[in-house]
Amino acid sequence: MKILRFLIPFVSLAVAAAQPAVQPSLTFPLREGWMLQPSTKVTATGEAISSASFGATSQTNGWIQAEVPTTVVAAQVKSKLLPDPFYGMNLRQYPGVGYPVGFNFSNIPMPPDSPYAVSWWYRKEFSLPNRFAGKTVWLNFRGINYRANIFLNGKQIANSNEVAGAWRTYEFNVTSAVKRGTNVVAVQVWAPTENSLAITFVDWNPSPPDKNMGLWREVYLTASGPVALRHPAVLSRVDSPGNNTAHLTVTAQVKNGSDHPVKGTLQGRIENIEFAQPVQLTAGESKDVVFSPDQYPQLNLSHPRLWWPAQMGTPNLYDLHLSFEVNGAVSDASRTKFGIREITSEVAEQAPGRLKRLFKINGKNILIRGGGWTPDMMMRETPERLADEFRYVRDLGLNTVRLEGKLETEEFFEMADRQGILVMAGWCCCDFWEHWGSWKDEDFEIAKSSLRDQMYRLRNHPSLVMWLNGSDNPPPPDVEEMYLKIESDLLWPNPIVSSATAKPTTVTGESGVKMSGPYEYVAPSYWTTDPYFRTTENLCNPGGCGGAYGFNTETSMGPAVPPIESVERMVPKDHLWTVNGPVDEYWNFHAGGGSFKTIQVFTDALNARYGKANSAEDFTYKSQLMTYEGVRAMYEAYSRSKYTSTGVIQWLLNNGWPSMIWHLYDYYLRPGGGYFGAKKAMQALDPVYGYDDHSVWLVSSQYVDAKGLKLEARVFNLDGTRKFSKDIALDAAADSTAKVLELPQIEGLSPAYFLDLRVSDGSGKLVGSNFYWLSTKAETLDWAKSNWYTTPTASYADYTSLAQLPKVKLKVSSRSERAGEDEATRVIVENPGKSVAFFVRLKLDKGKGGEEILPVVWQDNYISLLPGEKREITATYRASSLGAAKPAVEVSGWNVE
């Protein structure tokens, strides 16, 4: 199988993000020109507010100007009515922010005096496009949080009993309400309560005081004939392992917008394959139409171009063309992208009580290696940022992102489809979504409608690898059965997992996954240590034990303190470093919630392992070192033990605000040590050090054999002297892992020493490398004191002698060249000295002394250079981010002058 390797420019990604894969024939976005006002300042009725005369008077003076989608607080921030919520502790000064720091506001009642405890009005005037004349007109809301009354041209078209639920989508037939000339839509929105099926960030970041109330997703009009086409999808089965035939099921919903019965024909085309089916609809009826491959044999395709995740092949996409004809005229039409692939999973017992769920794509095993995704704290998104983040995901080599409850935009899923990134989606934990015992009849209906809307929205996307019906807990039997029926009715094509935990259910049995942590700092050796077979059973967490086995749906080596430039943007100067170092209320505020309100455990480990930090600069640099080490160890342990291990999701991939914890790149899109540790662990041919037995492994994550390889292992003391060297010739089978050697006992090692691993192909080209810093002092874990979020370190490794590394002066040169909208700077860095140049950071600035160019994709970073070694490393970035400046290279390092 051919492996897909590509470098897509930043700009083309952003442009692609703006082009929908499902294209209704006539769409009119209602984006600009909205106005917002709290109901306490409005005395008029919804009928009056939605009249043209209301806007013709001065009654809209003082309303907040906004673009939709936006939450209320996001609109206030954009209008400069509130200070930057991301700087310092500004957010705590917002009106309505009285909940304790680190608490989950979604579970706490909104203060009665909060300006968001009342409803807010959204109002917009628009003119109906001429092309909508004589058509059936539909008004769409892709997300309202949480309840709403909706008015159009003086008429109420929906009330707050009908419009309730953050994860529902709404479409209203407004043909009789719209008119030529000026139209006005007015929406009265109420925030969610602590008993709402809404949006929560759990302990990831604080919540804004409005609980993200508002029109937080797109609003638009569409037009059709009497019958509209909705939710087109192509679902596929593949005859694996040969993969020579695929069986397609095509489905779509047809909606009769008229007040009389309609007969018509639904016609479809996929390349040169055509199919059609007569349909009868009663007045106002909606119906799902299905074309099965049994009834339509032309939907059995020979030699299909399959959709693969990026590391496995090409994410091929096809076009589905559908149209509905009434009396020979097209009533509505759509063009939809889809991929042909089949995703399956199986749960197997690998030891008594130890289960694993293994996923396969088109019959081939895949080790899920991903990160947990979060949207912006105020649910803001731009096509450019979305493209930037996907660029990072691809550059890291991850194959999956997990969405816990925060089910992203259509553009997100379309980009995942195109880029070959799998998406693990499902409901969230830790709020009313999992308080099933408190649900009332209305909540069951909201949950039902929410799931139905999301299934319709997601089922066509080839990137969806699974759906989780619960997160930290599986739903009770009645709710799980309700969910499963909806998923079956709507032909959900992918594996369904009851929750992200190992808790079984009476309905579907074992989940085959675990959520055993950790989330707080753990030493690198944690991941290759498995005390499962120890005699004292309570040493294991409820979901499993330490060690890389099974499928861990969320886990982490702990905090991820960003580089100093990012910390300076979120922490005021007078709090940047105190007598207690980073243990300060401002630093803590930018940590997490719940059990993660400080970074004390991480700080204690850093000071013990690397020597006490003496400044914010020193602390943040050592943090990159420790995070690189920890994240790499986690991913490599799971890779090394495949398919005893079947998946791992780093918690988190990104942040919804500037944070000290849980990310591979920070909110400002600045990649730090964890990013490059993860990227190193994800390389296609990865030479891996085993912290458990001092072994060296070779992990192949590519799906082709690699023959005629050479692995070099070299050990160096701090003074640069070589203490061990061995070369081994070997082959690496596709998708394999193999133990290559065990390092012997080496005499005369310095307290801290280096292991350099390199893999080259038959031509001598370097195809994989790794550089480890190790300690002669054993690092041990206190398993008896484990809890759900960490296993403490009993005895730390000692890297304090790294401070004795002789200083080196590097030779650095660079050249830049432009290719279309992108620019690439090639940096040549050489170590002419006799000592190792350790943990060298390359940074690209907008001119000498200017701001760092971000986002930027570095081929490698935080590198170490052996004596006499020279490397060329490329950085790629958007040329427009330079402005009039020229790129300037800035180099720093552990022992770099």
What are the catalytic residues? 472, 554
* Burial call 299-333: b when 16+ CB within 10 Å, e when fewer: bbbeebebbbbbbbbbbbbbebebbbbbeeeebbb
* 3-class DSSP state of 288: strand
Give me the helix-helix angle, 477-489 and 441-458, nearest 10°.
Answer: 40
Contact partners, residue 695, CB within 8 Å, separation at least 6: 689, 739, 740, 741, 742, 743
CA atoms of 341 and 248, how far apart (whole Å): 10
**Cα→Cα distances 679→21, 107, 675, 871, Å:** 30, 37, 6, 18
Q: Is the peptide bond before 9 cis (omega within 30 degrees of 0)?
A: no
CA atoms of 392 and 861, how far apart (whole Å): 14
CA atoms of 199 and 464, how far apart (whole Å): 21
Number of Cβ within 10 Å of residue 792's Cβ equals 18
The residues with which 373 forms a beta bridge, in sequence order, are 403
Contact partners, residue 326, CB within 8 Å, separation at least 6: 225, 226, 227, 262, 263, 264
**For the chain, counts of helices (H) and of strands (E):** 13, 48
CA atoms of 391 and 856, how far apart (whole Å): 9
CA atoms of 427 and 446, how far apart (whole Å): 13
Is residue 829 within 8 A of residue 774, CB to CB? The reply is: no
Is residue 466 within 8 A of residue 494, CB to CB? The reply is: yes
The residues with which 125 forms a beta bridge, in sequence order, are 184
Pairing of the two strands 273-281 and 286-291: unpaired
Among 654, 16, 665, CA closest to 376: 654
CA atoms of 791 and 550, how far apart (whole Å): 19
Pairing of the two strands 354-361 and 706-716: unpaired
Pairing of the two strands 422-426 and 400-404: parallel
Is residue 392 within 8 A of residue 861, CB to CB? The reply is: no
Number of Cβ within 10 Å of residue 241's Cβ equals 10
Pairing of the two strands 64-66 and 34-38: antiparallel
Q: What tokens appear for 554 in the block?
A: 């969320």
Phi, psi of 646 (to 5 degrees): -125, -10
Q: What tokens appear for 600 in the block?
A: 């004390």
Q: What tokens appear for 638 in the block?
A: 């799971």
Is residue 567 within 8 A of residue 616, CB to CB? The reply is: yes
Ranges of H-type helices in 561-694: 564-570, 585-589, 600-610, 616-640, 673-681
Among 376, 379, 435, 374, CA closest to 194: 435
CA atoms of 524 and 464, how far apart (whole Å): 31
Cβ contacts of 91-98, under 8 Å, gap ≥ 24: 91/206, 91/208, 92/589, 94/208, 94/209, 95/209, 96/209, 96/210, 97/209
* 3-class DSSP state of 417: helix
CA atoms of 165 and 150, how far apart (whole Å): 14
Vertex 688 angle, CA 682 and 693, to 5°: 145
